[in-house]
Structure 1
């Protein structure tokens, strides 16, 4: 086995590939070391434990699914953003079968806290993106938001719809888009 150094990016790419091929149970220090062609000790240069490896892999999957700065059109309107999120949910569901369900059931054993924390971070990022798009959307009619019904509360409601769709495996944004149109425009 090659004990040459690898990189954290390579470790996470190999970990994601293991998840795609064999599911989350395939991710371990030994299996990732073998996939990278390095020693187990080399992997420990980048992660402290299996829990750290799984948590970093979870974050890496969320980033792959949702962190797309190269798609500025997706953030120009609320409708475009909602459509984009549903498309990314479909992509994640196809690319990482069971990933969303795993989170809804609350992660595995010792990896639970790190995975949950990273998932929450991804969700906060998506929610903040929704809020920002809502606040910039020029099509939102004047008076759509009030002191009691704020853009933040509407973003929370939209996000709840998206989470429910994610758990159901329903990646059609039609219902959410209809709510956006009837409520805001």
Structure 2
């Protein structure tokens, strides 16, 4: 008799995340996930029709976890630069849980899988840009900064996050140098 209380999708996703953490995201495949889950391959395909769909779910789960673990409300009383360091620290800690740097591993995926993964990541990058803009707006010391069309909050948020990603790929433990550069750039 079928056990209708079992959430196969969660089990499958959990095993896929386990593989990503222990072996690297490029090691995820339907057959291995099915075997590790004790679930038939066909059942895995019912929930995740392709490897790309499974990768997207793992990436989405990663970013949802990051956003959940950042205490956005707790950042309201800090300055922008301290807040950036806290966000970076959460990202660094999350990525440190993975055996391999999966930001680099995404580049090694097949073209279609890479495209699907990047599209989902881009959605979360846009959310992060918005959060960085919010952090800028919360800092009274930056409210007088003369933003322009070229150096807009949007461009600055993208610049900041893209550089944070570069530092994360290089496994930099902190971003003190980058923070000092930002202070020089964003001072009036």
Give the TM bin, normalised by the shorter chain: 0.7 to 0.9
Q: Secondary structure at the match of 1:45?
A: helix
CA distance in 1 between partners of 2:116 and 2:110 (Å): 10
CA distance in 2 between partners of 1:19 and 1:169 (Å): 17
Whether the aligned pair in 1 keeps the contact of 2:69 and 2:90 (CA below 8 Å) is no
Structure 1 unmatched runs, 5+:
none
Normalising by structure 2, we get a TM-score of 0.81
Residue in structure 2 matched with residue 99 of structure 1 by the alignment: 102
Whether the aligned pair in 1 keeps the contact of 2:137 and 2:143 (CA below 8 Å) is no
Q: Alpha carbons of 1:107 and 1:130: their partners in 2 closer, same or farther (altered >3 Å)? A: farther
Moved more, 74-83 or 7-16: 74-83
Deviation, structure 1 residue 68: 2.7
CA distance in 1 between partners of 2:51 and 2:3 (Å): 19
Residue in structure 2 matched with residue 29 of structure 1 by the alignment: 30
Q: Alpha carbons of 1:75 and 1:31: their partners in 2 closer, same or farther (altered >3 Å)? A: farther
Whether the aligned pair in 2 keeps the contact of 1:78 and 1:180 (CA below 8 Å) is no
Aligned length: 182
Residue in structure 2 matched with residue 165 of structure 1 by the alignment: 167
Whether the aligned pair in 2 keeps the contact of 1:15 and 1:27 (CA below 8 Å) is yes
Residue in structure 2 matched with residue 82 of structure 1 by the alignment: 84
Normalising by structure 1, we get a TM-score of 0.82
Of the three residues 151, 154, 158, the one matched with 2:153 is 151
